């Protein structure tokens, strides 16, 4: 027997799945023109003992590339930072976000 409670649960799951799909697909942007060459940045002195440098990169904003400068963050013990980067795909360039990877 189908109850109002079970229908509500199914609708909640469907809404969550729709929201997840929209969020996941919104992160993929394909750009037809390649990013400019990486800028050479001056890396300031490490501000504290366990600091990790996040290098600068080109971001796509409002129809063109803009430079996002590098910065220091607190490192995560047992992890290494994998910088974000642009990858050439069949239809253009796609941004792969930086992330922490377990050593």
By the 8 A CB rule, do 87 and 93 touch? yes
Instruction: Please tell me the distance from the alpha carbon of residue 63 to that of residue 98, in angstroms, as a whole number.
Output: 21
| CA–CA separation, 9 and 88 (whole Å) | 41
pLDDT tens profile 17-76: 443 333 344 568 899 999 999 999 999 999 999 999 999 999 999 999 999 999 999 999
Question: Closest Cα partner for 50 from 80, 16, 84, 77?
Answer: 77
Q: What is the pLDDT of residue 28?
A: 83
pLDDT of residue 26: 56
pLDDT at 93 over 80: yes
């Amino acid at each position: 027997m189908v109850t109002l409670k079970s229908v509500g649960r199914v609708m909640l799951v469907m809404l969550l799945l729709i929201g997840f799909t929209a969020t996941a697909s919104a992160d993929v942007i394909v750009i037809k023109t390649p990013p400019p060459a990486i800028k050479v940045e001056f890396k300031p002195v490490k501000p504290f003992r366990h600091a990790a440098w996040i290098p600068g990169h080109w971001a796509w904003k409002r129809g063109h590339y803009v430079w996002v400068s590098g910065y220091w963050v607190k490192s995560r013990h047992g992890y290494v930072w994998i910088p974000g980067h642009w990858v050439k795909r069949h239809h253009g360039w796609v941004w792969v976000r930086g992330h922490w990877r377990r050593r």
